[in-house]
């Protein structure tokens, strides 16, 4: 079983408009709702890849009920912890004329100390049967900023590999707890290290505690700095579409590759192909199967001459 943690889950709402016009009335042509938040997106992709996946985190209020009802329609097992506050909504406005998407994210419910303690107990129980765990996304109000460091240490004590995908101070503190893999994007890596050069920044992030760092580089693919070596993987052609959720699919590719004991180049190949295939999908947490199958054997992997 693979466990994903989404402390700030969301009900993802996507509006499609013919052309987004600021300061004007926009007519919506299509509305869709899906369970969201980075960890839930990861969980849905893992389940689509055939892995038994359990999702925990927080859910509350009418929005949380709607999210759980949608999650019940997927192959992901719901282990979300109820909270008194309402789960946030994220609204994506997709401009069908340009392909651009505007994202509006609510902050999330305030989590009480008692709710946090319940989550921690649930998490420790689930670790007992987990092969790997992904800690993903932003933090709702009320959750300690060092929460990912605590969850990483608990997983490592249980002998469960940890992938960390967050940003800012939670990322900095989480790295100090020595996760097996950190997966920042280029902007998050630059904010952490002060360097805009991806290889240098990834090496710096690894020195801060992560055993390996896999950095998402957008259309340029993914860079991995590990104890075994340093590689960069990229699709053989640029894929047009909506990039929302592409990084979450990359996490699913990396995590499934870890569980299946694939080599680093194989993990990167899967992560990049899934990420690019998500750009062609209608929403985060999904990927276009035909695009994935086309790209998988054609991802270009470069072996850097020096290890990170």
Active site residues: 248
Nearest alpha-carbon partner for 283 in 30, 65, 77, 78: 30
Q: Which two tokens stand for residue 169?
A: 């101070």
Indicate the burial class of 110 (C-beta count within 10 angstroms; 0-12, 13-18, 19 or more).
middle
Q: How far apart are CA 279 and CA 6, in angstroms?
A: 22
- Strand, helix or coil at 188? helix
Q: Which two tokens stand for residue 21?
A: 């016009």
Strand bridging mode 300-303 / 230-234: antiparallel
Element (H, E) at 254: helix 246-259
Q: Both tokens of residue 218?
A: 């957008």
d(CA 256, CA 161): 12
Name the β-bridge partners of 286.
Answer: none
């Amino acid at each position: 079983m693979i466990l994903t943690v989404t402390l700030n889950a969301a009900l993802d709402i996507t509006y499609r408009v013919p052309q987004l016009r600021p300061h004007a009335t926009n007519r919506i042509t299509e509305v869709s709702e899906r369970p969201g938040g980075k960890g839930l997106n990861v969980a849905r992709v893992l389940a689509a890849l055939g892995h038994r996946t359990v999702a925990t985190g927080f859910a509350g209020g009418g929005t949380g009920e709607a999210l759980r009802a949608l999650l019940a329609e997927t192959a992901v097992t719901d282990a979300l912890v109820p909270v008194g506050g309402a789960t946030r909504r994220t609204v994506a406005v997709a401009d069908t004329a340009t392909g651009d998407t505007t994202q509006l994210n609510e902050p999330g419910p305030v989590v009480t100390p008692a709710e946090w303690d319940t989550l921690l107990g649930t998490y420790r129980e689930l670790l007992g049967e987990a092969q790997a765990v992904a800690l993903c996304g932003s933090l709702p109000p009320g959750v300690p900023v060092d929460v990912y460091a605590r969850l990483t240490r608990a997983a490592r004590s249980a002998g469960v590999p940890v992938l960390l995908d967050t940003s800012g101070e939670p990322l900095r503190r989480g790295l100090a707890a020595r996760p097996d893999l950190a997966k920042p994007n280029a902007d998050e890596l630059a904010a952490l290290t002060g360097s805009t050069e991806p290889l240098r920044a990834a090496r710096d992030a690894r020195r801060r505690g992560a055993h390996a760092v896999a950095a998402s580089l957008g259309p340029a693919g993914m860079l991995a700095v590990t104890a075994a070596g340093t590689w960069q993987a990229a699709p053989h052609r640029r894929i047009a579409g909506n990039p929302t959720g592409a990084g979450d699919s990359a996490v699913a590719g990396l995590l499934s590759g870890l569980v299946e004991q694939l080599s680093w180049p194989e993990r990167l190949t899967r992560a990049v192909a899934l990420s690019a295939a998500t750009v062609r999908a209608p929403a985060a947490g999904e990927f276009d199967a035909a695009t994935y199958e086309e790209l998988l054997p054609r991802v270009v992997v470069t072996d850097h001459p020096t290890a990170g």
